[in-house]
Amino acid sequence: MSARPYGGRHELGQNFLADPAVIAAVCTAAARTTGPLAELAAGDGALTLPLSRTGRPLTAVELDPRRARRLARRTGDHVKVVHDDLLRHRLPEVPHTVVGNLPFHLTTATLRRLFRQPHWELAVLLVQWEVARRRAGIGGASQMTAAWWPWFEFAVPARVPAHAFRPRPAVDGGILVITRRTDPLVPDQAGYQEFVRAVFTGRGRGLGGILPRTGRVSARAAHTWLARNRLLPQALPRDLTAEQWASLWELTQ
């Protein structure tokens, strides 16, 4: 990771991780799995080096060619350091874990790409604090989270203060842990995600008004569903849990 644009615009806004406790927390979270590791935005190796000590096969992706060369000289034979763009790098085609201290401004783009990659089982990512909260549905879920909840679980085990980075960013970070569900809550990804989009962008004062306007749920069925889930008609799409979204989708079938 770099604070200067050596490798291009994707490096802008990058901050190095410098807190040993946070580094240990990320490594501990990644230890839930045992297969290969893919690290995005490896930088000077704050995460690469401790992860390499596990002996697991590790691919470290870094955009800055000078940092990639330096890191390659500091790692063992089981570590492959790749000079590449994290938004274009081809991830392993076997079950693996993704780790990374992401450039805050690339978080959404990175997540969109990751969600469509088929083989990773676990992702442990350092992202902006507010993004971590929204992805985990803390204080209200975003449309992106609702769209992918049936296939992934989201958790935020720790908040990372700004002083844990060098240079210090203007906001705190957070550790976002994403786990692929073994059994998805919904079978039809395309149809479900279009329904989520329609609900989030629909007009109405709360779900009681929004749902009938989607054309997929009658007013009576919406009222019954809301009552069964102990939700007021004024409840918003962001207020629903993963299980409630899956239940709501079933209502449309």
Enclosing domain of residue 163: 9-180
Angle at 63 between CA 60 and CA 69, to 5 degrees: 65
Whether residue 3 lies inside any domain: the answer is no
Residues 132 and 237 in one domain: no
pLDDT of residue 76: 87
Report the pLDDT value the prediction gives residue 13, as an integer from 0 to 100.
53
- Dihedral (C-alpha) 73, 75, 80, 82: value to the nearest 10 degrees? -50
* Statement to judge: residues 193 and 165 lie in one domain: no
Q: In terms of domains, do 88 and 193 share one?
A: no
| 82 and 204 housed in the same domain | no
4 belongs to a structural domain? no
Number of C-beta neighbours around residue 189 at 10 A = 13
Contact 119, 60 (CB under 8 A): no
Binding residue numbers: 15, 17, 62, 85, 101
Total domains, the chain: 2
Is residue 218 included in any domain, yes or no?
yes
94-108 pLDDT tens trace: 999 999 999 999 999
Q: How far apart are CA 6 and CA 20, in angstroms?
A: 26
Q: Do both 53 and 123 map to the same domain?
A: yes
Q: Annotated binding residues for S-adenosyl-L-methionine, as ranges?
A: 15, 17, 62, 85, 101
Contact between 179 and 152 under an 8 Å Cβ cutoff? The reply is yes
Distance in Å from the first CA to the final CA of the chain: 46
Positions in the chain whose pLDDT score sits under 50: 1-12
